[in-house]
């Protein structure tokens, strides 16, 4: 189970949908922050190496910035970090995990309301673990680049197409992800 708290710090106060539409063309810069908390839910069996649950709390703090470059071009960036509580019941030992720092950016082109495309990049690093006081060689480091196209085809309905090329930097492994999704807004 997870909960996220988000707040706008600069650029747009809380408002109804109609007020947002009126202000949309006048916003130049937005700064926001979020805090996501993940509870230790899911089945956990301390005698098994692989579990659905992690038996620990996790939290991600993130700060985001959006700037309108032109009426058609928008730049979004964010930096954040995941923090993890220790799992004191991992195969009768304590598992600790270091924080993971993230950064991402999206250059978005709006063709018309609802129809947009973006170039997306991200990077994260950290998360080295210690089990029973023994440090593991499991630093997580990854970078990705990709694109997204969102196409509205009826009121409240969109098709999203995406492609991502990534590399797990320490293992020389590359991967490709293709996404096709349908979304309906109620």
- pLDDT tens per residue across span 2-22: 999 999 998 877 777 777 767
To the question of pTM greater than 0.75 for the whole model, the response is yes
Domain count, the chain: 1
pLDDT at 186: 79
E strand or H helix at 24:
helix 17-24
Answer for the pair 12, 27: CB distance below 8 angstroms, yes or no.
Answer: yes
> Does residue 156 sit within a domain?
no
> Does residue 157 sit within a domain?
no
> Does residue 172 sit within a domain?
no
**d(C-alpha 37, C-alpha 40), whole Å:** 10
Range of the domain at 55: 2-145
> Does residue 106 sit within a domain?
yes
pLDDT at 168: 67
The mean predicted confidence, pLDDT, of the chain is 90
pLDDT at 27: 76
pLDDT digits (tens, 9 = 90+) for 32-76: 999 999 999 888 888 887 877 788 999 999 999 999 999 899 999
> Does residue 160 sit within a domain?
no
Token pair for residue 54?
């992690």
Polymer length of the chain: 186
């Amino acid at each position: 189970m997870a909960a996220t708290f988000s707040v706008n710090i600069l650029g747009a106060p809380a408002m109804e949908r109609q007020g947002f539409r009126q202000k949309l063309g006048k916003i130049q810069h937005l700064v926001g922050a979020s805090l996501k908390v993940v509870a230790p839910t899911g089945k956990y069996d301390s005698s098994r190496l692989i579990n659905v649950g992690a038996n620990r709390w996790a939290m991600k703090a993130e700060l985001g910035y959006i700037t309108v470059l032109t009426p058609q071009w928008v730049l979004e960036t964010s930096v954040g970090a995941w923090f993890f509580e220790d799992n004191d019941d991992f195969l009768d030992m304590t598992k600790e995990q270091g924080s993971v720092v993230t950064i991402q950016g999206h250059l978005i082109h709006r063709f018309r309301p609802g129809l947009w495309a973006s170039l997306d990049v991200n990077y994260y690093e950290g998360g080295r673990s210690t089990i029973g006081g023994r440090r593991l060689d499991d630093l997580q480091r990854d970078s990705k680049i990709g694109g997204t196209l969102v196409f509205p085809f009826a009121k409240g309905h969109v098709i999203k197409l995406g492609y991502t090329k990534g590399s797990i930097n320490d293992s020389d492994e590359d991967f490709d992800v293709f996404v096709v999704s349908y979304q309906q807004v109620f």
